[in-house]
Amino acid sequence: MNILTCDIEDWFHLLDIPATANVENWDNFTSRIHGNVDRLLEIIQLHGHSATFFCLGWVAEKYPEVIRKIDASGFEIATHTHTHQLVYQQKPEQFCQDIRRSICTLEDITGKKVKSFRAPGFSIIPGMPWAFETLVELGIERDSSIFPLARGHGGFATFGSARPAIIECGGGTLKEFPISLGRLWGKQIVFSGGGYYRLLPYRTVQKLTTKSDYLMSYFHPRDFDPEQPVLDLPLFRRFKSYVGLQRAFTKFDRWLAENEFIDMLVADEAIDWDSVPRISVN
Protein backbone atom coordinates (compact mmCIF):
# COMPACT_ATOMS: atom_id res chain seq x y z
CA MET A 1 0.00 0.00 0.00
CA ASN A 2 1.66 3.20 -1.24
CA ILE A 3 -0.15 6.39 -0.20
CA LEU A 4 0.57 9.61 -2.07
CA THR A 5 0.13 12.93 -0.25
CA CYS A 6 1.18 16.53 -0.85
CA ASP A 7 1.32 19.44 1.61
CA ILE A 8 0.09 22.53 -0.20
CA GLU A 9 2.14 25.42 1.09
CA ASP A 10 4.39 27.99 -0.59
CA TRP A 11 8.19 28.03 -0.81
CA PHE A 12 8.53 30.40 2.16
CA HIS A 13 6.47 28.29 4.57
CA LEU A 14 9.52 26.91 6.33
CA LEU A 15 9.31 26.34 10.08
CA ASP A 16 11.51 27.90 12.76
CA ILE A 17 12.90 30.55 10.41
CA PRO A 18 12.65 34.12 11.80
CA ALA A 19 12.49 35.69 8.34
CA THR A 20 9.28 33.82 7.47
CA ALA A 21 7.74 33.16 10.88
CA ASN A 22 5.40 36.15 10.97
CA VAL A 23 2.20 35.47 9.01
CA GLU A 24 1.75 39.21 8.47
CA ASN A 25 4.94 39.24 6.38
CA TRP A 26 3.93 36.48 3.98
CA ASP A 27 2.40 38.91 1.51
CA ASN A 28 5.89 40.37 1.02
CA PHE A 29 7.07 37.15 -0.65
CA THR A 30 6.35 36.42 -4.31
CA SER A 31 4.18 33.33 -4.49
CA ARG A 32 5.14 30.35 -6.64
CA ILE A 33 2.15 28.22 -5.64
CA HIS A 34 0.22 28.27 -8.93
CA GLY A 35 2.89 26.91 -11.25
CA ASN A 36 4.22 24.44 -8.72
CA VAL A 37 0.79 22.99 -7.90
CA ASP A 38 -0.08 22.80 -11.60
CA ARG A 39 3.11 20.80 -12.19
CA LEU A 40 2.24 18.38 -9.37
CA LEU A 41 -1.32 17.88 -10.60
CA GLU A 42 -0.15 17.27 -14.15
CA ILE A 43 2.42 14.62 -13.28
CA ILE A 44 0.15 12.75 -10.83
CA GLN A 45 -2.72 12.71 -13.33
CA LEU A 46 -0.39 11.65 -16.13
CA HIS A 47 0.45 8.49 -14.21
CA GLY A 48 -3.16 7.86 -13.17
CA HIS A 49 -2.70 7.98 -9.40
CA SER A 50 -4.91 9.37 -6.66
CA ALA A 51 -3.54 11.56 -3.87
CA THR A 52 -4.52 13.45 -0.74
CA PHE A 53 -3.64 17.15 -0.63
CA PHE A 54 -3.12 18.69 2.82
CA CYS A 55 -3.84 22.37 2.17
CA LEU A 56 -3.04 25.43 4.24
CA GLY A 57 -6.10 27.53 5.00
CA TRP A 58 -3.97 30.62 4.38
CA VAL A 59 -3.27 29.46 0.83
CA ALA A 60 -6.97 28.68 0.37
CA GLU A 61 -8.03 32.14 1.54
CA LYS A 62 -5.53 33.91 -0.70
CA TYR A 63 -5.72 31.62 -3.71
CA PRO A 64 -9.06 29.75 -3.63
CA GLU A 65 -8.64 28.91 -7.32
CA VAL A 66 -5.74 26.61 -6.39
CA ILE A 67 -7.96 24.61 -4.06
CA ARG A 68 -10.77 24.49 -6.62
CA LYS A 69 -8.36 23.13 -9.22
CA ILE A 70 -7.12 20.38 -6.91
CA ASP A 71 -10.69 19.47 -6.02
CA ALA A 72 -11.84 19.55 -9.65
CA SER A 73 -8.99 17.15 -10.48
CA GLY A 74 -10.63 14.59 -8.18
CA PHE A 75 -8.18 14.69 -5.28
CA GLU A 76 -9.02 14.67 -1.58
CA ILE A 77 -8.75 18.09 0.08
CA ALA A 78 -7.43 17.81 3.64
CA THR A 79 -6.21 20.42 6.13
CA HIS A 80 -2.62 21.31 7.01
CA THR A 81 -3.76 23.97 9.54
CA HIS A 82 -4.42 27.59 8.62
CA THR A 83 -1.19 29.40 9.49
CA HIS A 84 1.41 26.60 9.45
CA GLN A 85 2.66 26.92 13.02
CA LEU A 86 4.30 24.23 15.14
CA VAL A 87 1.59 22.58 17.23
CA TYR A 88 3.72 22.14 20.35
CA GLN A 89 4.32 25.91 20.47
CA GLN A 90 0.58 26.63 20.63
CA LYS A 91 -1.95 26.59 23.41
CA PRO A 92 -4.90 24.23 22.92
CA GLU A 93 -7.25 27.16 22.29
CA GLN A 94 -4.97 28.57 19.57
CA PHE A 95 -4.67 25.20 17.89
CA CYS A 96 -8.43 24.68 17.91
CA GLN A 97 -9.17 28.11 16.45
CA ASP A 98 -6.55 27.67 13.73
CA ILE A 99 -7.80 24.24 12.64
CA ARG A 100 -11.43 25.36 12.71
CA ARG A 101 -10.61 28.32 10.50
CA SER A 102 -8.79 26.14 7.99
CA ILE A 103 -11.59 23.59 7.85
CA CYS A 104 -14.26 26.26 7.35
CA THR A 105 -12.22 27.93 4.61
CA LEU A 106 -11.62 24.70 2.69
CA GLU A 107 -15.20 23.49 3.07
CA ASP A 108 -16.60 26.82 1.89
CA ILE A 109 -14.51 26.51 -1.28
CA THR A 110 -15.22 22.86 -2.13
CA GLY A 111 -18.56 22.23 -0.45
CA LYS A 112 -17.11 18.98 0.90
CA LYS A 113 -16.37 17.85 4.45
CA VAL A 114 -12.72 17.91 5.48
CA LYS A 115 -11.86 14.69 7.30
CA SER A 116 -8.06 14.37 7.11
CA PHE A 117 -5.33 16.38 8.86
CA ARG A 118 -1.55 16.70 9.00
CA ALA A 119 0.36 18.90 11.46
CA PRO A 120 3.10 21.21 10.11
CA GLY A 121 6.48 19.62 10.65
CA PHE A 122 4.77 16.55 12.16
CA SER A 123 4.78 18.64 15.34
CA ILE A 124 2.41 16.63 17.52
CA ILE A 125 4.75 15.13 20.10
CA PRO A 126 4.30 12.97 23.23
CA GLY A 127 2.32 14.55 26.06
CA MET A 128 -0.19 16.39 23.85
CA PRO A 129 -3.44 14.38 24.04
CA TRP A 130 -5.36 17.64 23.65
CA ALA A 131 -4.20 17.90 20.03
CA PHE A 132 -5.86 14.62 19.09
CA GLU A 133 -8.92 15.46 21.17
CA THR A 134 -9.25 18.73 19.27
CA LEU A 135 -9.10 16.95 15.93
CA VAL A 136 -11.86 14.55 16.97
CA GLU A 137 -13.96 17.46 18.25
CA LEU A 138 -13.63 19.22 14.88
CA GLY A 139 -14.74 16.17 12.89
CA ILE A 140 -11.34 14.94 11.69
CA GLU A 141 -11.33 11.17 11.18
CA ARG A 142 -7.88 10.51 9.66
CA ASP A 143 -4.59 11.92 10.88
CA SER A 144 -1.09 11.77 9.38
CA SER A 145 0.89 13.81 11.91
CA ILE A 146 3.01 11.12 13.54
CA PHE A 147 6.70 11.00 12.67
CA PRO A 148 7.78 7.82 14.53
CA LEU A 149 11.43 8.85 14.98
CA ALA A 150 13.20 11.73 16.70
CA ARG A 151 13.61 14.79 14.45
CA GLY A 152 14.30 18.50 14.48
CA HIS A 153 10.71 19.38 15.29
CA GLY A 154 10.39 16.75 18.00
CA GLY A 155 9.01 13.63 16.39
CA PHE A 156 7.15 10.88 18.25
CA ALA A 157 9.79 8.19 18.71
CA THR A 158 7.75 6.44 21.43
CA PHE A 159 4.64 6.03 19.29
CA GLY A 160 5.51 2.38 18.82
CA SER A 161 4.26 1.89 15.28
CA ALA A 162 5.17 3.03 11.79
CA ARG A 163 1.99 1.48 10.45
CA PRO A 164 -1.69 2.46 10.53
CA ALA A 165 -3.11 2.47 14.05
CA ILE A 166 -6.10 3.64 16.04
CA ILE A 167 -5.32 6.52 18.39
CA GLU A 168 -7.41 6.50 21.54
CA CYS A 169 -7.81 9.85 23.27
CA GLY A 170 -10.25 11.36 25.72
CA GLY A 171 -12.53 12.63 22.98
CA GLY A 172 -12.74 9.40 20.98
CA THR A 173 -10.58 7.76 18.32
CA LEU A 174 -8.62 8.71 15.22
CA LYS A 175 -7.34 6.61 12.35
CA GLU A 176 -3.60 7.33 12.29
CA PHE A 177 -1.46 7.09 9.14
CA PRO A 178 2.10 7.68 10.41
CA ILE A 179 5.06 8.41 8.20
CA SER A 180 6.53 5.10 7.09
CA LEU A 181 10.07 3.90 7.72
CA GLY A 182 12.61 1.81 5.82
CA ARG A 183 15.72 0.03 7.00
CA LEU A 184 19.09 1.06 5.61
CA TRP A 185 22.51 0.09 6.98
CA GLY A 186 20.80 -1.46 10.00
CA LYS A 187 18.92 1.71 10.91
CA GLN A 188 15.34 2.83 10.45
CA ILE A 189 15.08 5.88 8.21
CA VAL A 190 12.47 8.04 6.53
CA PHE A 191 12.78 7.98 2.74
CA SER A 192 9.39 8.79 1.22
CA GLY A 193 9.18 12.58 1.37
CA GLY A 194 10.77 15.99 1.68
CA GLY A 195 14.53 16.36 2.00
CA TYR A 196 14.97 12.67 2.81
CA TYR A 197 13.55 11.69 -0.57
CA ARG A 198 15.59 14.31 -2.41
CA LEU A 199 18.83 13.31 -0.69
CA LEU A 200 18.70 9.55 -1.32
CA PRO A 201 19.66 8.01 -4.68
CA TYR A 202 16.70 6.80 -6.73
CA ARG A 203 17.87 3.20 -6.56
CA THR A 204 17.74 3.32 -2.75
CA VAL A 205 14.30 4.94 -2.69
CA GLN A 206 12.90 2.37 -5.12
CA LYS A 207 14.45 -0.55 -3.23
CA LEU A 208 12.89 0.62 0.03
CA THR A 209 9.58 1.24 -1.72
CA THR A 210 9.50 -2.30 -3.10
CA LYS A 211 10.18 -3.73 0.37
CA SER A 212 7.40 -1.69 2.01
CA ASP A 213 3.89 -3.04 2.41
CA TYR A 214 2.86 0.33 3.89
CA LEU A 215 4.30 3.58 2.56
CA MET A 216 3.15 7.09 3.49
CA SER A 217 4.70 9.74 1.26
CA TYR A 218 4.72 13.50 1.79
CA PHE A 219 5.78 16.14 -0.71
CA HIS A 220 5.61 19.91 -1.01
CA PRO A 221 5.41 21.99 -4.20
CA ARG A 222 8.81 23.49 -3.32
CA ASP A 223 10.42 20.00 -3.33
CA PHE A 224 10.42 20.17 -7.13
CA ASP A 225 11.23 23.84 -7.67
CA PRO A 226 14.95 24.52 -8.27
CA GLU A 227 14.15 28.14 -9.23
CA GLN A 228 12.70 29.10 -5.84
CA PRO A 229 14.41 31.90 -3.87
CA VAL A 230 16.98 30.67 -1.36
CA LEU A 231 16.46 31.83 2.21
CA ASP A 232 19.31 32.65 4.56
CA LEU A 233 19.34 29.51 6.71
CA PRO A 234 21.75 27.76 9.06
CA LEU A 235 24.02 25.41 7.12
CA PHE A 236 22.22 22.15 7.97
CA ARG A 237 18.75 23.60 7.32
CA ARG A 238 19.99 25.08 4.05
CA PHE A 239 21.28 21.68 2.94
CA LYS A 240 18.11 19.85 3.96
CA SER A 241 15.83 22.45 2.37
CA TYR A 242 17.56 22.67 -1.00
CA VAL A 243 19.46 19.41 -1.54
CA GLY A 244 18.53 17.53 -4.71
CA LEU A 245 16.09 20.08 -6.15
CA GLN A 246 17.54 19.87 -9.68
CA ARG A 247 16.87 16.12 -9.97
CA ALA A 248 13.79 15.80 -7.77
CA PHE A 249 11.07 16.11 -10.42
CA THR A 250 12.71 13.59 -12.75
CA LYS A 251 13.09 11.19 -9.83
CA PHE A 252 9.44 11.74 -8.87
CA ASP A 253 8.27 11.10 -12.43
CA ARG A 254 10.14 7.79 -12.53
CA TRP A 255 8.88 6.79 -9.06
CA LEU A 256 5.26 7.43 -10.07
CA ALA A 257 5.78 5.44 -13.26
CA GLU A 258 7.24 2.39 -11.51
CA ASN A 259 4.82 2.14 -8.56
CA GLU A 260 1.12 2.30 -7.78
CA PHE A 261 -0.21 4.98 -5.42
CA ILE A 262 -3.54 5.61 -3.71
CA ASP A 263 -4.95 8.37 -1.53
CA MET A 264 -5.95 8.19 2.13
CA LEU A 265 -9.61 7.67 1.28
CA VAL A 266 -8.88 4.47 -0.63
CA ALA A 267 -6.35 3.36 1.98
CA ASP A 268 -8.90 3.89 4.75
CA GLU A 269 -11.35 1.58 3.00
CA ALA A 270 -8.68 -1.08 2.36
CA ILE A 271 -7.37 -1.32 5.94
CA ASP A 272 -8.90 -3.76 8.42
CA TRP A 273 -9.11 -1.34 11.32
CA ASP A 274 -10.18 -4.07 13.75
CA SER A 275 -6.74 -5.68 13.42
CA VAL A 276 -4.43 -2.65 13.75
CA PRO A 277 -2.74 -1.56 17.01
CA ARG A 278 -4.72 0.67 19.37
CA ILE A 279 -2.53 3.32 20.96
CA SER A 280 -3.63 5.41 23.92
CA VAL A 281 -2.20 8.95 24.07
CA ASN A 282 -3.87 9.98 27.34
- Report the pLDDT value the prediction gives residue 157, as an integer from 0 to 100: 84
CA 103, CA 277: separation in Å to the nearest integer?
28
Positive or negative torsion for Cα 235, 90, 26, 100: positive
Is the distance from CB of 101 to CB of 68 less than 8 angstroms?
no
Q: Half-sphere exposure of residue 216, counting CA atoms within 13 Å on the CB side?
A: 26
- Report the pLDDT value the prediction gives residue 241, as an integer from 0 to 100: 79
The residue among 151 and 181 whose pLDDT is bigger is 181
Amino acid 112 reads K
The residues with which 231 forms a beta bridge, in sequence order, are none
Chain segment 101-135, per-residue pLDDT in tens: 999 999 999 999 999 999 999 999 999 999 999 99
Chain segment 234-272, per-residue pLDDT in tens: 887 787 778 889 999 999 999 999 999 999 999 999 999
Q: How confident is the model at residue 156 (pLDDT cuts 50, 70, 90)?
A: confident
Q: How much is the average pLDDT of 206-213?
A: 96
Give the contacts of 141 (CB within 8 A, at least 6 positions apart): 115, 116, 174, 175
| Mean pLDDT score of the chain | 93
Q: Kindly list the structural domains of the chain, giving each domain's residue range(s) and its CATH number in brackets, ordered by start.
A: 2-14+32-277 (3.20.20.370)
Q: Half-sphere exposure of residue 154, counting CA atoms within 13 Å on the CB side?
A: 20
Q: How confident is the model at residue 81 (pLDDT cuts 50, 70, 90)?
A: very high
CA 88, CA 124: separation in Å to the nearest integer?
6
**Whole-model pTM?**
0.94
Q: How much is the average pLDDT of 181-207?
A: 92
Percentage above 90 pLDDT, the chain: 80
Positive or negative torsion for Cα 231, 235, 241, 242: positive
Give the contacts of 48 (CB within 8 A, at least 6 positions apart): none
Output the CA–CA distances (angstroms, integers) from residue 140 to 116, 160, 175, 176, 221, in the order listed: 6, 22, 9, 11, 24
3-state secondary structure the chain: CEECEEEECCCCCCCCCHHHHCHHHHHHCCCCHHHHHHHHHHHHHHCCCCCEEEECHHHHHHCHHHHHHHHHCCCEEEECCCCCCCHHHCCHHHHHHHHHHHHHHHHHHHCCCCCEECCHHHCCCCCCHHHHHHHHHCCCCEECCCCCCEECCEECCCCCCCCCEEEEECCEEEEECCCCCEEECCEEECCCEHHHHHHCCHHHHHHHHHHCCCEECEECHHHHCCCCCCCCCCHHHHHHHHCCHHHHHHHHHHHHHHCCCECHHHHHHHCCCCCCCEEECC
- Report the pLDDT value the prediction gives residue 124, as an integer from 0 to 100: 93
Percentage above 70 pLDDT, the chain: 100
Output the CA–CA distances (angstroms, integers) from residue 30 to 26, 194, 237, 238, in the order listed: 9, 22, 21, 20
SS3 assignment, position 173: strand
